[in-house]
Amino acid sequence: MESISDAFIAVDNNWIITYWNKEAEVILGKTRTDVINRNLWEVFEDAVDTIFYYNYHKAIREGVSIHFEAKYDTLDMWVEISAYPSTGGLSVYFKNVTDRKRIEHQVQQMYNELAAQTKKLAASNAELEQFAYVASHDLQEPLRMVSSFLTLLEKNYKVQLDDRAKQYIHFAVDGAERMRQIILDLLEYSRVGKLKNKKEAVDLNDIMQELLLLYRTQIEEIKADISIQSLPKIYAYKAPVRQVFHNIFSNAIKYHNKAVKPSIGIEVKEEETHWLFSIKDNGIGIKADYHEKIFVIFQRLHARNEYPGTGMGLAICKKIIENMGGKIWVTAEEGQGSTFYFTIDKN
Ligand code: ADP
């Protein structure tokens, strides 16, 4: 009992202290000569009618061992206690757990702060999404007016307009058309995760066949080799899943390298909790500095006349995948092709 790391004390059936080890002396600040053969509740008058008093009596009365943690106010200390009754009285093991309690308290406080912060963030996020939705929705109507009056101007005043004026109108119409596309993309982005139809069994092989059909002309034009592994059937929201495959696959075609024969490979690996998909191309690749940026809305690496697009495709993919609890990333090197990876939970 002197060599164990716990404090240990024993009392007989009349609460007379019969044993008091060294650690008990350290923790409670009383030497054994002070306490041996004295009544526990006389030595610790301050503990009468506290949880210690109640639990020790209960252990003896009911003949059951009791384990509990409690604060001993007199010493401002948390203790963890195990009390074992026997025919001769009660044996009590205990240790000072104040440091652990303090840390637990701090962790709990941090957790509470984090939970409050998360709640605030979620609210402001929802507000922002609502804003993006309303803004993009309401911007469409005035934009439609601009486009249609420009077209009317061109049509009805053809004879009065010189070539330069017509060119200006052409630029303005082109700008309005681009703006329309941006607004549509933004609207789509803000809608991700909102419109929830029913989950359904989605055969990803069917989705890829649809995409091959949709892109047949481009694929033939650039003479791309496309290999697709047998893909699984998953249970998910079909439209967003299709969108992810669509955006990444169409990028693999769009950003092909003209100097080599385009080759695109779609593979899947079954992991314990999720499917890991990869779409690999041997296209123009992406500098390491941009591997994360390309997933941010409106981030593009090329001028519009080089490659068309608004820079929203991958941002939409990221939002969809993360909404479903997955991850999306790219490995790529400039000039050496890119591989886009994403995970979808099997559950
Ligand atoms: P968009 O294609 O409309 O520009 P995305 O969000 O789909 O928008 O892509 C963002 C940027 O990431 C693209 O502008 C392009 O620079 C780069 N990128 C995407 N996919 C590929 C790819 N397969 N190979 C090379 N670059 C790519």
Q: Which two tokens stand for residue 113?
A: 């702060």
Same domain, 252 and 338: yes
Q: Is-above-0.85 flag for pTM?
A: no
Phi, then psi, of 61 in degrees rounded to 5: -60, -45
Residue 231: pLDDT over 90: yes
Q: How far is CA 327 from CA 175, 294, 324, in A?
A: 35, 15, 9
Q: How far is CA 333 from CA 87, 210, 268, in A?
A: 77, 29, 22
CATH of the domain at 128: 1.10.287
Q: How confident is the model at residue 130 (pLDDT cuts 50, 70, 90)?
A: confident
Would you call 278 exposed, middle or buried from its count of C-beta atoms within 10 A (0-12, 13-18, 19+)? middle
Please tell me the predicted confidence (pLDDT) of residue 195: 67
Task: Give CA angle at 246 (242, 252), nearest 5°.
Answer: 150
Same domain, 276 and 218: yes
- Residue at token pair 């890119």: 338
Q: Whose CA is nearest to atom 14 of ligand 1?
A: 300
Same domain, 217 and 324: yes
Mean pLDDT of 154-161: 92
Measured distance CA(249)–CA(279) in Å, rounded: 7
320 in a structural domain:
yes
Q: Which of 1-5, 253-257, 327-331 has the lowest mean pLDDT?
A: 1-5
Distance from Cα 291 to the centre of ligand 1, integer Å: 10
Measured distance CA(12)–CA(317) in Å, rounded: 72
Phi, then psi, of 101 in degrees rounded to 5: -60, -40
Q: How confident is the model at residue 185 (pLDDT cuts 50, 70, 90)?
A: confident
Domain span holding position 16: 7-96
Same domain, 162 and 230: no
Same domain, 252 and 165: no
272-290 tens-digit pLDDT: 999 999 999 999 999 999 9
Domain count, the chain: 3
Q: Whose CA is nearest to atom 21 of ligand 1?
A: 251
Same domain, 259 and 292: yes
2 in a structural domain:
no
Distance from Cα 339 to the centre of ligand 1, integer Å: 12
Distance from Cα 216 to the centre of ligand 1, integer Å: 20
Sign of the Cα torsion 181, 187, 193, 199 reads: negative
316-328 tens-digit pLDDT: 999 999 999 999 9
Same domain, 213 and 240: yes
CATH of the domain at 90: 3.30.450.20
Q: Which residues line ligand 1 (CB under 6 A)?
A: 247, 251-252, 255, 281, 283-286, 294, 299-302, 309-315, 338
Measured distance CA(70)–CA(77) in Å, rounded: 8
CATH of the domain at 289: 3.30.565.10
Q: Of all atoms in ligand 1, which is nearest to the CA of residue 301? A: 16
Q: Of all atoms in ligand 1, which is nearest to the CA of residue 312? A: 6
Same domain, 169 and 280: no
